[in-house]
């Protein structure tokens, strides 16, 4: 009995909000439960000193001679506890010396903060700690999702890698060991958008390491019983997210990280790119309008000039309008506006020596240790540098030039890059290694500060904690113009699923890819397949690719132009559905794109060959060259073929090159436009608001289901139709009967409704 009392005295329990924490003093462990279910078992907290040699080249990084000495806490002592307020725990090493302090407190519903910091003057191997690590139990096994956007997998169980913003590479090796050409070919987890957020969906729980430093994760790779996060800084701030299911954990994480910024309406319609000068841009616009394509955005990345190189058509690094390529740009902007287009441009943090901006930028560029401008060769082999975005002066310099472009008539842009921060660069107000992963945020904050309130469209590819609250659209980067599984068409799906779990609300990709280094340019088959996936993505956007004169384009031939019109029209007609998903993103932190298992438990978390657009539409494109269809595993439950309304089953599904398998879940309502407008740009003669708000096609699958549009109009189905059927009505609120199914409409906008049901 005495022994049991002694053991009991070495365990302390405290309730903090929705969580209960049990401190095991002798084992130096901490267990976190929620509603009686264990979410996390912290087995070890450790401080360390570490070092590494880091080589930088063209946005890639080689880490060599990575070393760390660690001291783990051997015992814990509760020094302060206050139910529902705070828990403070002293950490002691093997010698009994106080090494650190762990604090825990509730941060609202389903969110627990854990802060681990070294004790004053505590040293590891005679040095102040610059590493901190937490190890947790893998008792429940996998899967492990999260960690940002990765192209080769969704479930990362059994893998170990670093989270560091970098170029993802052109092509990838299968492992995280750098290849000989590490500055070109990416490792398995090299990414522009890493994120130190882990989702363990089976528990469910999320864990975020709140830092701008590199974070190494080992997900039961070195030890099948343990997973760990190790930050390259002297302390570690963790946030633990609970929830009733994995989807609620994803939403809670997005909300806690600042929420999801929603793009303007025009961005939910199709986009096209147009380059190579005024004549070509205006030709693209006229071709789209003559064909009846519902495009509302044209984006022109070479507005400041470009040069043909052995690696493709690469942009000038100047910051001023190329008046030879784009004479009378103000007139072009107005012409495009009259045709229903918003005109987008391109910016990056780079500044090139050959441009007019070089001299004026000298005080705001990255520096070397001796105070000189830090330079490297650009894609055109000219001398270039990048803005020191730790300095407000650098942002002000950029915004002055961005404002000049807005005055021309552009209304947004691609805010590219932000992966290129050399580790030995000297910044005005930060350390280039310690704050490396914050560089994308500084770039996005600079753009958001200028564009917020303008209803502008802009998009980015790099990211870290908080990016979704700043950047309204994230795209997947520069995939191969191929069906290659290392970096081509198939990889945009796992990449999008990972970014969704990271909190990205609106994801898009370059239709037909970008890079043709080591692979052939795009062809019609690839273009057709990829365009259909674009139609069932939150954002649909074309890109000419690096070798635009060799790649297949939307207007290469009449057949492709007709295919673009068809796919773009399908996307545009989904506008009410997409706008409703935007409402969910803003209000609940729910991304528009979802892993199927987040909504339909029992689906394989490891699959990365299909996604959900919202909760209703399961999108499973054909991903292999020459294939006439594919095997499809539908999520649990009843499903319907989107195109025919017929009941659907898992198995082989035919899909010609101009088709895509899409399925609707039973118990769902999908609102569509009856007719796609040619543009979603307000204030243009082409946009008739009656076309957008005056009519709806409501597709109802199975029994029940509801959906709320962006304007608050709610559709609720009850009962079940005895057979497929259709009915029409004009109303703002009321009911529509279709063969035993009743659809209730609650809204304030009178619309003409056509309701299609499938029992």
Asked if pLDDT for residue 51 goes beyond 80, the answer is yes
Whole-angstrom distance, CA of residue 204 vs CA of residue 249: 7
Judge residue 6's burial from the number of C-beta atoms within 10 Å of its C-beta, 0-12 exposed, 13-18 middle, 19 or more buried.
exposed
Q: Are residues 470 and 581 in the same domain?
A: yes
- The DSSP bridge pattern shows strands 647-648 and 194-200 to be unpaired
Please write the tens of the pLDDT for every residue from 556-577.
Answer: 999 999 999 999 999 999 999 9
Q: What is the pTM of this model?
A: 0.97
User: Does residue 252 form part of some domain?
Assistant: no
The structure tokens listed for 736 are: 């529509």
Q: Which of 120, 114, 124 is nearest to 47 (CA)?
A: 124
> For 716, phi and psi rounded to 5 degrees?
-130, 125
Domain identity same for 422 and 286: yes
Residues 593 and 635 in one domain: no
Q: Which domain holds residue 518?
A: 267-599
Instruction: Give which of 226, 32, 206 is closest to 23, Cα–Cα.
Output: 32
With contact defined as beta carbons under 8 Å apart, do 423 and 62 qualify?
no
Whether pLDDT at 5 is above 60: no
Looking at the structure, tell me whether residues 406 and 525 fall in a common domain: yes
Token pair for 522:
């795009």
Tell me what pLDDT residue 4 has: 37
Rg, C-alpha atoms of the chain: 27
* Residue 8 binned pLDDT confidence (cut-offs 50, 70, 90): very low
One-character DSSP codes across 238-273: EEEE--SSHHHHHHHHHHHTT--PPPPGGGGS-EEE
Predicted confidence at residue 688, as pLDDT, reads: 60
Residue 30 has pLDDT above 80, yes or no: yes
pLDDT (tens digit per residue) in 647-702: 999 999 999 999 999 999 999 999 999 999 989 898 777 766 556 778 999 999 99
- With H, G, I as helix, E, B as strand and everything else as coil, classify residue 99: strand
pLDDT in tens, 624-644: 999 999 999 999 999 999 999
Q: Is the pLDDT of residue 433 over 70?
A: yes
Torsion of CA 323, 329, 331, 334, to 10 degrees: 180
Whether residue 129 contacts residue 47, with contact meaning beta carbons closer than 8 Å, is answered with: yes
Cα(390)–Cα(444) distance, rounded to whole angstroms?
12
Residue 692, pLDDT score: 77
Q: Is the domain of 277 the same as that of 234?
A: no
53-104 confidence digits (pLDDT tens): 999 999 999 999 999 999 999 999 999 999 999 999 999 999 999 999 999 9
Confidence of residue 555 (pLDDT cuts 50, 70, 90): very high
pLDDT number for residue 538:
98
Q: Are residues 625 and 710 in the same domain?
A: no
Number of domains in the chain: 4
**Portion of the chain with pLDDT greater than 90, in percent:** 93
* 704, 583: one domain: no
Mean pLDDT of the chain: 96
Residues 399-423 as b/e (b if ≥16 CB within 10 A, e otherwise) read bebbeebbebbbbbbbbbbbbbbbb
Whether pLDDT at 7 is above 70: no
Residues 173 and 123 occupy one common structural domain: yes
Q: In this structure, what are the phi and psi dihedrals at residue 263, rounded to the nearest 5 degrees?
A: -75, 165
Flag whether 261 is in a domain: no
**Backbone angles phi and psi of 647, in degrees to 5:** -55, 145
Asked if 230 and 339 sit in the same domain, the reply is: no
- Span 191-209, mean pLDDT? 97
Confidence at residue 311, expressed as pLDDT on a 0 to 100 scale? 84
500 falls within a domain: yes
Q: Quick one: 107 and 183 in the same domain?
A: yes
Predicted confidence at residue 310, as pLDDT, reads 84
Q: Are 535 and 465 in a shared domain?
A: yes
pLDDT at 606: 97
Distance separating the N- and C-terminal Cα atoms of the chain: 66
- Asked whether residue 469 carries a pLDDT value surpassing 50, the answer given is yes
* 469 backbone dihedrals φ, ψ, rounded to 5°: -80, -15
Going by pLDDT thresholds of 50, 70 and 90, the confidence category of residue 2 is very low
Tell me the pairing of strands 297-299 and 593-594: unpaired
- Any domain includes 605: no
Mean pLDDT of 144-171: 98
Asked whether residue 359 falls in the same domain as residue 415, the answer is yes
401 pLDDT more than 50: yes
310-366 pLDDT tens trace? 889 999 999 999 999 999 999 999 999 999 999 999 999 999 998 899 999 999 999
Q: Write down the pLDDT at residue 550.
A: 97
From CA 111, how far away is CA 105, in angstroms rounded? 9
pLDDT at 378: 86
pLDDT at 197: 98
């Amino acid at each position: 009995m005495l022994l049991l009392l002694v053991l009991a005295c070495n365990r302390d329990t405290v309730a903090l909000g929705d969580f209960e924490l049990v401190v095991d003093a002798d084992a130096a462990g901490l267990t976190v439960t929620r509603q009686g279910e264990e979410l996390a078992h912290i087995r070890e907290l450790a401080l360390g000193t570490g070092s590494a040699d880091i080589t930088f080249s063209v946005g890639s990084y080689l880490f060599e001679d990575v070393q760390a000495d660690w001291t783990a806490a051997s015992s814990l002592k509760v020094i302060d506890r206050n139910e529902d307020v705070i828990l403070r725990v002293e950490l002691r090493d093997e010698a009994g010396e106080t090494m650190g302090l762990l604090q825990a407190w509730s941060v609202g519903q389903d969110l627990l903060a854990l802060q681990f910091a070294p004790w004053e003057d505590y040293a590891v191997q005679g040095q102040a700690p610059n590493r901190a690590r937490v190890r947790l139990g893998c008792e429940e096994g996998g899967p492990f999702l999260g960690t940002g956007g990765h192209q080769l997998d969704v479930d990362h169980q059994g893998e170990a890698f670093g989270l560091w913003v970098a170029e993802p590479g052109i092509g990838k090796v299968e492992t995280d060991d750098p290849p000989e050409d590490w500055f070109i070919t990416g490792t398995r987890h090299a990414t522009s958008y890493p994120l130190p957020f882990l989702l363990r969906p089976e528990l469910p729980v999320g864990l975020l390491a709140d830092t701008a430093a590199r974070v190494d994760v080992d997900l039961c790779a070195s030890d099948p019983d343990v997973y760990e996060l190790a930050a390259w800084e002297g302390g570690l701030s963790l946030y633990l997210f609970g929830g009733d299911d994995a989807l609620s954990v994803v939403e809670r994480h997005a909300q806690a990280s600042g929420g999801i910024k929603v793009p303007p309406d025009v961005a939910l319609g199709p986009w096209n790119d147009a380059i190579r000068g005024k004549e070509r841009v205006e030709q693209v616009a006229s071709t789209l309008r003559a064909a009846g394509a519902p495009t509302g955005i044209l984006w022109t990345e070479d507005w400041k000039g470009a040069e043909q190189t052995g690696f493709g058509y690469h942009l000038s690094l100047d910051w001023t309008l190329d008046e030879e390529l784009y004479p009378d740009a103000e007139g072009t902007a107005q012409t495009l506006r009259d045709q229903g287009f918003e005109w987008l441009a391109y910016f990056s943090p780079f500044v090139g020596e050959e441009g007019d901006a070089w001299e004026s930028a000298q005080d705001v560029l990255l520096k070397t240790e001796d105070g000189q401008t830090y330079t490297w060769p650009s894609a055109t082999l000219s001398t270039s540098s990048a803005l020191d975005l730790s300095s407000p002066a650098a942002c002000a310099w950029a915004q002055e030039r961005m404002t000049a472009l807005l005055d021309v008539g552009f209304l947004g842009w691609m805010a590219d890059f932000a992966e290129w921060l050399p580790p030995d660069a000297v910044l005005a107000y930060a350390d280039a290694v310690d704050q490396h992963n914050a560089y994308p945020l500084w770039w996005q904050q600079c753009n958001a500060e200028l564009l917020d309130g303008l209803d502008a469209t802009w998009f980015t590819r790099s990211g870290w904690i908080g990016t979704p609250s700043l950047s309204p659209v994230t795209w997947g980067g520069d995939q191969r113009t191929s069906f290659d599984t290392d970096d081509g068409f198939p990889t945009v799906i796992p990449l999008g699923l990972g970014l969704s779990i990271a909190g990205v609300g609106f994801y898009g990709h370059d239709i037909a890819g970008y890079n043709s280094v080591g692979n052939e340019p795009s062809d019609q088959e690839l273009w057709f397949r990829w365009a259909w996936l674009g139609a069932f993505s939150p954002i649909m956007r074309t890109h000419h690719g690096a070798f635009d004169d060799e790649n297949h384009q939307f207007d290469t031939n009449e057949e492709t132009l007709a295919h673009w019109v068809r796919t773009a029209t399908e996307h545009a007609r989904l506008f009410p559905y997409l706008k409703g998903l935007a409402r969910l993103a803003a209000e609940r932190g729910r991304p528009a794109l979802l892993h199927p298992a987040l909504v339909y438990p029992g689906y394989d978390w490891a699959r990365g060959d299909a996604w959900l657009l919202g909760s209703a539409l399961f999108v499973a494109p054909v991903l292999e060259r020459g294939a006439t269809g594919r095997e499809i595993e539908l999520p649990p439950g009843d499903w319907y073929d989107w195109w025919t309304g017929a009941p659907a089953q898992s198995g082989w599904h035919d899909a010609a090159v101009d088709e895509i398998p899409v399925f609707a879940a039973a118990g769902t309502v999908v609102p569509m436009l009856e007719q796609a407008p040619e543009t979603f740009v307000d204030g243009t003669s082409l946009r008739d608001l009656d076309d957008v708000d005056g009519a709806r096609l409501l597709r109802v699958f199975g029994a029940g289901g509801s959906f709320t549009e962006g304007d608050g109009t709610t559709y609720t189905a009850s009962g079940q139709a005895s057979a497929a059927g259709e009915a029409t009505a004009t109303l703002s609120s009321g009911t529509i009967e279709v063969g035993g199914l009743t659809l209730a409409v609650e809204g304030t906008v009178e619309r003409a409704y056509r309701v299609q049901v499938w029992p």
